[in-house]
Chain A
């Protein structure tokens, strides 16, 4: 079955450490996105990529970095510069210009 896989499901990080969240899709989608969700709030866009080797900042990119070396993969690194990283992170993908996104099951990151 096609879909998006995010790993790990739960992640604990010590303050000052960088951590990378994985996102892999086998839907052959061109576009991929990273959103952050805080409790009781909506989804805020961190980074997105419309094509391999290219990506754009979203509304809250500070403290995060991404890469898009392969069409299937769009990993997100939460750096130590991110002041409040504890959140639920959602990865999504879509065909170019499509209006419906397919989301992964998310990674819940907790800073301890």
Chain B
């Protein structure tokens, strides 16, 4: 079967750093993506890792370890607007399989 596991909720304060982990078990693997979704809104693409290592895009970074079937999204200098749900997704041949999502709450 295929499964992606994420923590259901994470809380942090403004200016802090938070890490959202994702472990996956899939029959095929072509990369790990991260998406952000504000309440009632559309998911938006944040980052993608096909190879092991860290990818940095502004305040957000994403890491992948294929040998451990593990990745994480790192959010630095947290802002109130970062409060949202974050989904990891594995590309399996020609489609994405999404995790159940992590709700991030940022407090002042």
Number of residues from A at the complex interface, CB < 8 A: 22
**Contact present for B43 and A100 (CB under 8 Å):** no
**Contact present for A42 and B91 (CB under 8 Å):** no
**B100 interface residue (CB < 8 Å to A):** yes
CB distance from B36 to the nearest CB of A (A): 11
Those 3 A-B pairs whose CB atoms lie nearest each other, nearest first: A100-B45, A103-B42, A42-B100
Interface residues of A in 7-31 (CB under 8 A from B): 31
Number of residues from B at the complex interface, CB < 8 A: 23
**Contact present for A90 and B33 (CB under 8 Å):** no
Contact with A along B1-25 (1 / 0, CB 8 A): 0001000000000000000000000
- Contact partner of B42 among A31, A41, A45, A90, CB < 8 A? A90
**Contact present for A102 and B41 (CB under 8 Å):** no
A residues in contact with B98, CB < 8 Å: 35, 42-44
B residues in contact with A101, CB < 8 Å: 35, 43, 45, 96
**B50 interface residue (CB < 8 Å to A):** yes
**Contact present for B87 and A48 (CB under 8 Å):** no
CB distance from B38 to the nearest CB of A (A): 11
**Contact present for A41 and B50 (CB under 8 Å):** no
B residues in contact with A43, CB < 8 Å: 43, 87, 98
Interface residues of A in 38-63 (CB under 8 A from B): 40-45, 48, 50, 58
Q: How far is the CA of A45 from the CA of B97 in the complex (A)?
A: 8
**A105 interface residue (CB < 8 Å to B):** yes
**A74 interface residue (CB < 8 Å to B):** no
**Among B35, B41, B42, B91, which residue has the most Cβ atoms of chain A within 10 A?**
B42
CB distance from A23 to the nearest CB of B (A): 12
A residues in contact with B95, CB < 8 Å: 33, 45, 48, 58
Contact with A along B33-59 (1 / 0, CB 8 A): 101000011111100101000000000
**Contact present for A99 and B33 (CB under 8 Å):** yes
Residue of A nearest to B41 (CB): A105
Residue of B nearest to A50 (CB): B94
